[in-house]
Amino acid sequence: MDAMDHDSGELQEVSAAEIKSFFESAPPLKDGDEINKKLKEFVERNSSATAPRVVCVTSGGTTVPLEQQCVRFIDNFSSGHRGAASTEYFLKAGYSVIFLYRSGSCQPYCSSLPDDPLLECFDISDDSNIQVRQSHAEVVKRVISEHHAAVSGGYLLKLPFTTIFEYLQILRLVALSLSCLGPCAMFYLAAAVSDFYVPWETMTVHKIQSRSGPLDMRLAQAPKMLSVLRKEWAPVAFCISFKLETDSKILVEKADMALKKYDMHMVLANELSTRKEEVIVVSKSGKTVVRKDKAQPCVDVESPLIELVVDRHSTYIKHSGDGTETT
Ligand code: PAZ
């Protein structure tokens, strides 16, 4: 289920009433004030730079709860690798990053760590002190220092979400707070967001009981937030959405449709099975295939991808204001 994108036949104009009702009926964010405070500080710190470049990278899948006291939920596939790796390359390129990620998904700088770093990287010494195992010392030192430098330097702000309700509410807060940066702000929407959801007010409070027989549920269509992001929340920001398909025959066509319908600056199209090797960049100026360099197995596809994205964003900033079409 693929949310911020929108499938061909069902591409409809998003209605203001639909959006209003989504946000009014969504359970309020538990830590909305705290998130706003962090965003305000982050934007203030970064907008004082000479040429501030800030990107909001979204990452991981949203859940759709089936019960208000949630026992069961529907999930969208995404490990968060794309978002985490892209965040590292954006930071390297001089961007500040708001990393809006699904709790528990891949984190920037952590891809070289083992699956269970706490248990695999550390030992307890004779005097009961905790020590890093020699075999992992170098990687642990590098990961901690790079992460610490990004966070304490004010270049990386991490905001977690789990449900589609949290994701869309936080995305709106981020977009509104970045609007003061005009074309220097970018949205890189790699999260896999559900196209369908159960509206909060129609959702059962308690665990659905199996004694009632087979489960027959009707899911509502999630409002198409890409339009709102482009038209209202951050109309001047550089916007990149993703398109994931499993059928290669429809991938580019669907990406093209999303580009036009939502007035995106770029749509990054990928197929589930080859997403780590190849991404097709679709924009008004045409299509470019970005591939992982097989001669360098340690360098992932996000490296050339972010290089291209940064280049297009620079051109966009340069031409913004003179009305020239750049992408
Ligand atoms: O998170 P991951 O690295 O496992 O996968 C990345 C991805 C395929 C979720 C992403 O590149 C993407 O296409 N996101 C948008 C998915 C969608 O169409 O909703």
- Domain hosting 229: range is 16-209+218-319
Asked whether the ipTM of the predicted complex exceeds the cut of 0.95, the reply is yes
Domain count, the chain: 1
The distance of Cα 209 from the centroid of its chain, to the nearest Å, equals 34
Beta carbon of 80 within 6 Å of any ligand 1 atom: yes
Q: Please check the confidence at residue 9 and state whether its pLDDT lies above 80.
A: no
In a domain, 283, yes or no: yes
State the closest ligand 1 atom to the C-alpha of 1, by its place in the atom list counted from 1. 19
User: 2 versus 10: which is more confidently predicted?
Assistant: 2
Q: Please check the confidence at residue 11 and state whether its pLDDT lies above 90.
A: no
Q: Report pLDDT digits (tens) over 275-315.
A: 999 999 999 999 999 999 999 999 999 999 999 999 999 99
Beta carbon of 2 within 6 Å of any ligand 1 atom: yes
For the domain that residue 75 is a member of, what is the CATH number?
3.40.50.10300
pLDDT band at 127 (very low <50, low <70, confident <90, very high): confident
In a domain, 53, yes or no: yes
Whole-number average pLDDT of the chain: 93
Beta carbon of 84 within 6 Å of any ligand 1 atom: no
pLDDT band at 326 (very low <50, low <70, confident <90, very high): low
Q: Report pLDDT digits (tens) over 194-229.
A: 999 999 999 999 999 998 899 999 999 999 899 999
Beta carbon of 6 within 6 Å of any ligand 1 atom: no
Distance (angstroms) between ligand 1 centre and the Cα of 123 equals 36
pLDDT (0 to 100) of residue 51? 79
C-alpha distances (whole Å) from 11 to each of 16, 76, 171, 204 are 15, 20, 21, 29
In a domain, 4, yes or no: no
Q: What percent of the chain has pLDDT over 90?
A: 88
In a domain, 9, yes or no: no
Beta carbon of 222 within 6 Å of any ligand 1 atom: no
pLDDT (0 to 100) of residue 212? 82
In a domain, 51, yes or no: yes
Distance (angstroms) between ligand 1 centre and the Cα of 58 equals 10
CA-nearest residue, atom 13 of ligand 1: 244
pLDDT (0 to 100) of residue 15? 79
Q: Please check the confidence at residue 4 and state whether its pLDDT lies above 70.
A: no
Distance (angstroms) between ligand 1 centre and the Cα of 214 equals 31
In a domain, 27, yes or no: yes
Q: Report pLDDT digits (tens) over 154-209.
A: 999 999 999 999 999 999 999 999 999 999 999 999 999 999 999 999 999 999 99
Distance (angstroms) between ligand 1 centre and the Cα of 276 equals 10
Beta carbon of 171 within 6 Å of any ligand 1 atom: no
CA-nearest residue, atom 7 of ligand 1: 78
Q: Please check the confidence at residue 1 and state whether its pLDDT lies above 80.
A: no
pLDDT (0 to 100) of residue 49? 81
Q: What is the pTM of this model?
A: 0.94
Distance (angstroms) between ligand 1 centre and the Cα of 82 equals 7
CA-nearest residue, atom 5 of ligand 1: 78
CA-nearest residue, atom 16 of ligand 1: 192
Task: Produce one character per residue of 296-316: b if its CB has 16 or more CB atoms within 10 Å, e if not.
Answer: eeeebbbbbbbebbbebbeeb
Q: Report pLDDT digits (tens) over 307-325.
A: 999 999 999 999 997 766 5
Q: From 78, 247, 253, 301, give the residue whose CB has the most ligand 1 atoms within 8 Å, as the site to mutate.
A: 78
pLDDT (0 to 100) of residue 325? 58
Distance (angstroms) between ligand 1 centre and the Cα of 191 equals 6
Beta carbon of 265 within 6 Å of any ligand 1 atom: no
In a domain, 91, yes or no: yes
Q: Please check the confidence at residue 27 and state whether its pLDDT lies above 50.
A: yes
Q: What is the mean pLDDT of residues 22-51?
A: 94
In a domain, 43, yes or no: yes
Beta carbon of 166 within 6 Å of any ligand 1 atom: no
pLDDT (0 to 100) of residue 82? 98
Beta carbon of 262 within 6 Å of any ligand 1 atom: no
Cβ atoms of 123 and 137 closer than 8 Å: no
Q: What is the mean pLDDT of residues 96-110?
A: 98
pLDDT band at 3 (very low <50, low <70, confident <90, very high): very low
